[in-house]
């Protein structure tokens, strides 16, 4: 996957969750005119999160109509069972949730909440998943829900390409940014500077021009935005505004 950093170091990844599912091809072609770096695709299984979205056939169809890298965010239980489906469908990056590798006591069936863990109980399985993604030549990501301590990701950062920090409880677009995420971004950024200089830090949920600036200031370099782009009457201007807000910092 080539990075189109547009000389800024910041990648913008519009989330197709907020696109028109009846006209995905139209929305992809429309948003391509604003040069998104990646397209973020949310896969939900109705169990890991209280919503159900799309799966491999739609990703395969997307792959056939766009050259923009597809950033697949798997909000599903047991991602190792289905990994090959997403590799074969054409995912460029595959992000799995760390909560799938620890003990959770319930299923996430209430909007506005999400699963969290305090330790990883199956590190061998997580390591295997990362290797399988890399062996297929794709980028491997590790996502954390808002209530999972960020420290759990740190031992993995030199083995993966990206950490995705959820800044809302996953499942739905259009929620408000959880501000405590900023501190988590800074923690990962500091650890990456010491141990994983190439690590990408992706922030997902409630990103608009103002929260984008907060996230980037803390060290994020991939911004996922759904509603703040696709729910606007002029999505291309909205995306450009997010990019401008994010890249005005430090340049």
Task: Rule CB under 6 A: choose which of 171, 187, 188, 247 binds ligand DX5.
Answer: 171
Is 139 among the residues that bind Zn ion (CB under 5 A)? no
Residue 168 interacting entry, from ligand DX5, Zn ion, none, C-beta within 5 to 8 Å by type: ligand DX5
- Is 17 a binder of ligand DX5 (CB under 6 A)? yes
Q: Considering the complex, what minimum distance in angstroms separates the CB of residue 222 from ligand DX5? A: 11
Nearer to ligand DX5, 97 or 138 (CB): 97
Residue 225 interacts with ligand DX5 (CB under 6 A)? yes
Q: Establish whether 67 is a catalytic residue.
A: no
Is 116 one of the binding residues for ligand DX5 (CB under 6 A)? no
Q: How far is the CB of 90 from ligand DX5 (least distance, A)?
A: 19
Q: Give the tokens for residue 8.
A: 């800024």
Shortest spacing between CB 194 and ligand DX5, in angstroms? 28
Q: Cα–Cα distances in Å, from 44 out to 24, 48, 157, 163, 200? A: 17, 7, 24, 18, 23
227 lies in the site for ligand DX5, by CB under 6 A: yes
Specify the stretch interacting with Zn ion by CB under 5 A; choose among 130-138, 152-160, 186-194, 197-205: 197-205
The structure tokens listed for 96 are: 């799995």
From the list ligand DX5, Zn ion, none, partner contacted by residue 139 (C-beta under 5 to 8 A by kind):
none
Binding of ligand DX5 by 37 (CB under 6 A): no
Spell out, one character per residue from 53 to 82, where the chain touches Zn ion: x when CB under 5 A holds, - when not.
Answer: --------------------x---------
Q: Single out the catalytic residue among 27, 37, 42, 161.
A: 42
> Closest by alpha carbon to 242, among 198, 212, 218?
212
Query: Among residues 63 and 158, whose Cβ is nearest to Zn ion?
Result: 63
Which among 27, 37, 161, 204 is annotated as catalytic?
204
Q: Which does 205 bind (CB under 5 to 8 A by kind): Zn ion, ligand DX5, none?
A: ligand DX5
Which three-class secondary structure string do you get for the chain?
Answer: CCCCCCCCCCEEEEEHHHCCHHHHHHHHHHHHCCCCCCEEEEEEECCCCCCECCCHHHHHHHHHHCCCCEEEEEECCCHHHHHHHHHHHCCCEEEEEHHHHCCCCCCCCCCCCCCCCCCCCCHHHHHHHHHHHHHCCCEEEEEECCCCCHHHHHHHCCCCCEEEEECCCCCCCCCCCCCCHHHHHHHHHHHHHHHCCCCEEEEECCCCHHHHHHHHHHCCCEEEECHHHHCCCCHHHHHHHHHHHHHCCCC
Q: Which residues bind ligand DX5 (CB under 6 A)?
A: 15, 17-18, 40, 42, 73, 168, 170-171, 173-175, 204-207, 224-228
Q: Catalytic positions, please?
A: 42, 204
């Amino acid at each position: 996957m080539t990075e189109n950093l547009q000389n800024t170091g910041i990648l913008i990844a519009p989330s197709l969750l907020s696109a028109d599912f009846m006209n995905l091809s139209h929305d992809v072609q429309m948003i391509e005119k604003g040069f998104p770096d990646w397209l973020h695709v949310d896969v939900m299984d109705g169990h890991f999160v209280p919503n159900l979205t799309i799966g491999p056939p739609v990703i395969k169809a997307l792959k056939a109509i766009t050259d923009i890298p597809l950033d697949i965010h798997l909000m599903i239980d047991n991602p190792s069972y289905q990994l090959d489906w997403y590799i074969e469908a054409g995912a460029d990056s595959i992000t799995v949730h760390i909560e799938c590798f620890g003990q959770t006591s319930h299923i996430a069936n209430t909007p506005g909440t999400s699963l969290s863990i305090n330790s990883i109980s199956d590190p061998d399985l997580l390591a295997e998943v990362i290797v399988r993604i890399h062996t297929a030549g794709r980028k491997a990501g590790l996502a954390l829900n808002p209530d999972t301590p960020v420290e759990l990701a740190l031992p993995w950062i030199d083995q993966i390409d990206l950490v995705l920090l959820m800044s809302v409880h996953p499942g739905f677009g259009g929620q408000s940014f959880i501000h405590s995420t900023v501190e988590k971004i800074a923690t990962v950024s500091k650890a990456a500077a010491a141990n994983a200089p190439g690590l990408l830090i992706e922030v997902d949920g409630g990103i608009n021009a103002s929260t984008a600036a907060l996230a980037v200031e803390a060290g994020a370099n991939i911004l996922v935005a759904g509603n703040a782009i696709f729910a606007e009457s002029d999505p291309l201007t909205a995306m450009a505004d997010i990019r401008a807000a994010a890249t005005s910092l430090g340049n």
